[in-house]
Chains A and B, each alone.
Chain A
Amino acid sequence: MPTVEKYLKPEVIRQIARLDLRAQFIVKGFLQGLHASPFHGFSVEFSEHRKYTHGDDPDDIDWLVYAKTDKYYVKKFEAETNLTGYLVMDLSASMAYSHEQELTKFEYSICLAAALCYLMIHQQDPVGLVTFGEKIVDSLAPKSKRAQIGNILSLLANLEPQDKTDIRNSLFQLAAMLKHSSIVMIFSDLLAEPDEVIAALRRLRHGGHDVILFHVLDQAEVAFPFEGLVELKDPETQETIEVDADAYRSEYLEEIEGFRTTYARECRQSGIDYVPLDTSMQFDRALMEYLINRRNWG
């Protein structure tokens, strides 16, 4: 039975041109796939009834309404506290990279960001958008209105990866910019000096922000699927290196694994959620990460 779960797959989402639809599909597919309602237990006030759907906790069924209408309705709640979310997009040229994948890292990140935006607005949470290159390029103040979805998505849809990045600088700038405790969701391939980036992340975390770091890499960057003699070119610096891919693969994998492990370790120590992703993965992983984080806030 075809379900909307298929929309969690990047190769399917790619075929949908409009970003708002993409975000809807992703979120719906995600919610459909959950066995338990992701909203259970949130500390929210009752807002409205809605029809029981498969996966809702039967405890939430409003039996009084059932008695009157002979239909199942669940009670819906509204968040008591408003959680401000920032979607932080890395605009570096390297994010435009894709090797044999449907989506570039950038597109993947945008889809994910859009879905999260959708989800958060759905939760009445204010969402803002920040993009950065060597410094912060654009920023959209967080709002929880429905219209905010349109703003954010239109901005996202028009983003282009730029040239070079300076993640550290940009994050420091961001930390200075944020006034209230927020949930900061960073989408980046983190191809910079890890120590600097981590320092910036710590600075952000120190400011009382909750940080979710979506480390988006291309599948090729994770698996190094090349064979034979290849000349590799860095899109940002234009530097080239000639290597024998077969002989080099294991060494590369060690390196990338070490890189990710470093981030995972440092982030764990700093209380940052580190989500390693690659462009071949389904979106639900990222969404789930958000929701768990969101629940903790509740």
Chain B
Amino acid sequence: MGFLTPALLAGASLIAVPILLHLIMRRQPQQLTFPALQFVRKRQQANRRKLNLRHLLLLALRCGLIAGFAFALARPTLKGSGLRGKEGAPLAVALVVDNSLRMQYIHENQTRQDQATEMARGLLTKLPEGTEVAVLDRSRATSGFAVDVATAESRLRNLQPESRPRPLEDALQEALELVSNREDARQEVFLFSDLSAEVWTEAAISALNETLAEFPDIRLYLVDVGIETPSNRSLGPLEFRQHILRPGEPLRLDVPVATAGSDNDPLIELYISPAEGEPIKRGQQIVDLSDDGQGQAAFELDALPLGTHQGFVQLPDTDPLMIDNKRYFTVEVRPPAEVLLLGEQRSDTLYLRETLSPSSLGEADQTTARFKCTTDRFAEASRLDFADFSAVCLLDPPPLSEELWQSLLDYANDGGGVGIFLGERARASEFNEGAVTQLLPAKLKRKSRYETYLRPRRLDHPALAALSPYAELIPWNAVPVFRYWEFDTLVGDAYLIARFANNEPALLVRPVGQGRTLTLATPYSDPPNPRGREPWNLLPLGEWPFVPLMNELVGYLSQSDNDSLSFQAGETVSLNLPPSQRVSSYVLYPPDGQSIRRTLPPGDDAIRISTTRNLGNYRVSSGGASGQLKRGFSVNLLPEVSELKRIDPDALMEALPKQQVRLADTLTDVERYVDIGRSGRELFPYLIALVALVWGSEHLLANRFYREAAA
């Protein structure tokens, strides 16, 4: 409670007057002669008590009257802003509108953002003359006070949905700091938002609390434009096995589906958009939803030709929040990966080469093969430039020269994949020192003679994931392993992806620089009947599952991890350009149909694009019809946009300082709060009515009490 004219409260000290009068100047009663006093006397005692009570009541009424007058004239206000000394000062108001994509939720033919701006504009009309208004949103751009109310209004009208909003507490902090600069004005911040639980995290609330504590004079009004029980269907981020496909590799993508407030199993459609023309539907599925409304669709597309392919997955049905019903994707089918197979003899590479690119396909079909294999001997290896290859596989390597190991290490550091298939020729002593130790996942211990077979427990690693659909069908024990290398403790970042049946490590991965090495503890080059010794295993003879397994392993080695083609809104996109695609300028085709010509600094090997606020598929091209560069990428919305769960308003208000923050549902609430916040709820009318009442009672009582004797 505050007072507009607190000085007048001093008037309450006049209460002393009636008390003094009561004590020293008691009015004399009318004196009368009355002979029948004996009847009066009988009940005199009770009467005197009544009389005293009435005296006190009269005194209390008179004191109350004076105090009430003083109190009313001091103009008390209820729940006012409490900004003493700022009454009558101009207002400094910041309107913060949550313009994240979630605010596109449609209810009663109006998006939440439209409603928020409408309420904010309604509020603008109520603000008094001379109010300074700042309009802020969740975009990254900073803003200041608008020149006038009309400018603020136009800014509100033109608010665009923000696909990559900054945290709400940041926007609020900016608003609070902005209005706090107007020290002479009364400072108020209005937030129009949907009270999404995703925004109001504990961290956000505590950050806001801290900011509010810095500016205790500022009032914050939360205007809730959210829907109590939202219903929505949404697609989660698409899950790719890889964005870069090789010929023959199918495109597999998983689509998470989530629904809230809807029971029907949704239909999901997959479209491929050619560079020109309408999108073509390539698949559809009805997803079975679990009890909690979650589900997953899986699509597989075979035989995509070389080049960049873009498309989208969508929920064709309409729902209140449409923005999360569509997810975009871009994949590239690149020419066969160049793989270098090195063996002691060229014959050692035979099994793997035939596994990766069977000669039965013929030369003509080599372009449709996933790999293009080059074979050579270790002795010749120093002549080769490993950078020409996506992966290098060492088949049963003997101790090699330090230079060769070093160049392999450099190759891996630069992003190459090195496969090491250990076998008879390896020597623990030589392999446990020098550069090779940085490629191997652990020190070699000894050759084991324990007969076993490969038995991966899990197939979730990318190198094995392709086999996972058939996990139950694979007869791993049909292909025996007689000998294998045992390892010491794994070094730091190396990890195990498959074991033998006896639980010994079989397949290990070690990230090296930007690349990686993959070590198999037994060779894939041993003939079934080697001269002078027992074979290490019969893997090359077991067509199933080792042909696909080897394809996946080498495929994993030849991947380039940093070639992501799917980005989130607002993220800076970086497309790596191989030497053959390096250009000096290119044209960017964003989803809105424009074309933007850009130049690239000479020698730059990547295209960087930061204007990715629009969702959809972007294309980048250069070189005209000859098509030196035809790439693309997809920009999808942030997954949290679909988080429609609301925070409990009471809990939120509980967590925020009560004296500074108010919650409103409607424009009326807003206006009421503004009125109250501006000067508090004036109690003057009520108080003056009360004073009148007290006055009346006092008058009545006093008249009855001291009635003049009739003339």
B33 CB contacts on chain A under 8 angstroms: 97, 99, 232-235
Bound-state Cα–Cα, A221 to B40, Å: 11
Q: Which of A6-14, A81-89, A242-250 contacts B (4 or more CB under 8 A)?
A: A242-250
Which residues between 244 and 290 of chain A lie within 8 Å of chain B, taking CB atoms?
244, 246-248, 251-252, 255-256, 259
B39 CB contacts on chain A under 8 angstroms: 252, 255-256, 259
Residue B705 CB within 8 A of the other chain: yes
A213-252 interface code vs B (CB 8 A; 1 in, 0 out): 0000110110000111111111111011111101110011
Which residues between 20 and 52 of chain B lie within 8 Å of chain A, taking CB atoms?
27-44, 47-48, 50-51
What is the CB-to-nearest-CB distance from A223 to chain B, in angstroms, rounded to a whole number?
A: 11
What is the CB-to-nearest-CB distance from A259 to chain B, in angstroms, rounded to a whole number?
A: 7
Residue A94 CB within 8 A of the other chain: yes
Bound-state Cα–Cα, A143 to B28, Å: 54
A233 CB contacts on chain B under 8 angstroms: 31-34, 37
Bound-state Cα–Cα, A150 to B642, Å: 124
Query: Once the chains bind, are A229 and B705 in contact (CB under 8 Å)?
Result: yes
- For A252, the closest partner residue in chain B by CB is B39
Residue B240 CB within 8 A of the other chain: no
Are A191 and B35 also in contact (CB < 8 A) when A244-B50, A248-B43 are?
Answer: yes
Residue A189 CB within 8 A of the other chain: yes
User: Taking each of B29, B34, B43, which has the highest tally of chain A beta carbons within 10 Å of its own beta carbon?
Assistant: B34
- For B35, the closest partner residue in chain A by CB is A94
B34 CB contacts on chain A under 8 angstroms: 97, 99, 220-221, 232-234
Residue B704 CB within 8 A of the other chain: yes
Bound-state Cα–Cα, A228 to B710, Å: 11
User: Taking each of A100, A226, A237, which has the highest tally of chain B beta carbons within 10 Å of its own beta carbon?
Assistant: A226
Which residues between 48 and 65 of chain A lie within 8 Å of chain B, taking CB atoms?
none
Query: Once the chains bind, are B37 and A241 in contact (CB under 8 Å)?
Result: yes
What is the CB-to-nearest-CB distance from A200 to chain B, in angstroms, rounded to a whole number?
A: 18
- For A220, the closest partner residue in chain B by CB is B34
Which one of B31, B36, B51 lies within 8 Å of A243 (CB-CB)?
A: B51
What is the CB-to-nearest-CB distance from A55 to chain B, in angstroms, rounded to a whole number?
A: 39
Residue B707 CB within 8 A of the other chain: yes
B43 CB contacts on chain A under 8 angstroms: 248, 251-252, 255
Residue B425 CB within 8 A of the other chain: no
Are A228 and B706 also in contact (CB < 8 A) when A236-B35, A243-B40, A255-B39 are?
Answer: yes
B446 CB contacts on chain A under 8 angstroms: none
B157 CB contacts on chain A under 8 angstroms: none
Which residues between 687 and 711 of chain B lie within 8 Å of chain A, taking CB atoms?
703-708, 710
Which one of B40, B42, B705 lies within 8 Å of A232 (CB-CB)?
A: B40
Bound-state Cα–Cα, A234 to B33, Å: 6
Query: Once the chains bind, are B51 and A229 in contact (CB under 8 Å)?
Result: yes
Query: Once the chains bind, are A243 and B37 in contact (CB under 8 Å)?
Result: no
B32 CB contacts on chain A under 8 angstroms: 99, 226, 230-233
Which range contains the number of B residues in contact with the other chain?
Answer: 20 to 34
Residue B54 CB within 8 A of the other chain: yes
What is the CB-to-nearest-CB distance from A191 to chain B, in angstroms, rounded to a whole number?
A: 6
Bound-state Cα–Cα, A275 to B44, Å: 29
Bound-state Cα–Cα, A250 to B207, Å: 73
Bound-state Cα–Cα, A248 to B710, Å: 18
Bound-state Cα–Cα, A97 to B38, Å: 15
B41 CB contacts on chain A under 8 angstroms: 239, 241
Query: Once the chains bind, are A244 and B38 in contact (CB under 8 Å)?
Result: no
Bound-state Cα–Cα, A94 to B48, Å: 25
Bound-state Cα–Cα, A26 to B454, Å: 148
Query: Once the chains bind, are A229 and B706 in contact (CB under 8 Å)?
Result: yes
Bound-state Cα–Cα, A248 to B34, Å: 14
User: Taking each of B28, B29, B35, B42, which has the highest tally of chain A beta carbons within 10 Å of its own beta carbon?
Assistant: B35
Are A229 and B30 also in contact (CB < 8 A) when A243-B40, A244-B54, A246-B704 are?
Answer: yes
Which one of A230, A251, A256 lies within 8 Å of B30 (CB-CB)?
A: A230
What is the CB-to-nearest-CB distance from A94 to chain B, in angstroms, rounded to a whole number?
A: 3
Are A228 and B37 also in contact (CB < 8 A) when A99-B32, A243-B47 are?
Answer: no
A interface, CB within 8 angstroms of B? 93-94, 97, 99-100, 189, 191, 217-218, 220-221, 226-237, 239-244, 246-248, 251-252, 255-256, 259
Give 18 new A-B contacts, CB below 8 A, not counting A189-B36, A252-B40, A256-B39: A93-B35, A217-B36, A220-B34, A221-B34, A227-B704, A229-B27, A229-B706, A230-B30, A231-B28, A231-B31, A232-B33, A233-B37, A234-B34, A239-B41, A241-B40, A242-B51, A252-B43, A255-B43
* 10 CB-based A-B contacts, threshold 8 Å: A99-B32, A100-B710, A228-B704, A237-B37, A243-B40, A243-B47, A246-B704, A247-B47, A255-B43, A256-B39
Shortest Cβ-Cβ A-B pairs, 5 listed: A228-B707, A94-B35, A255-B39, A232-B34, A229-B29
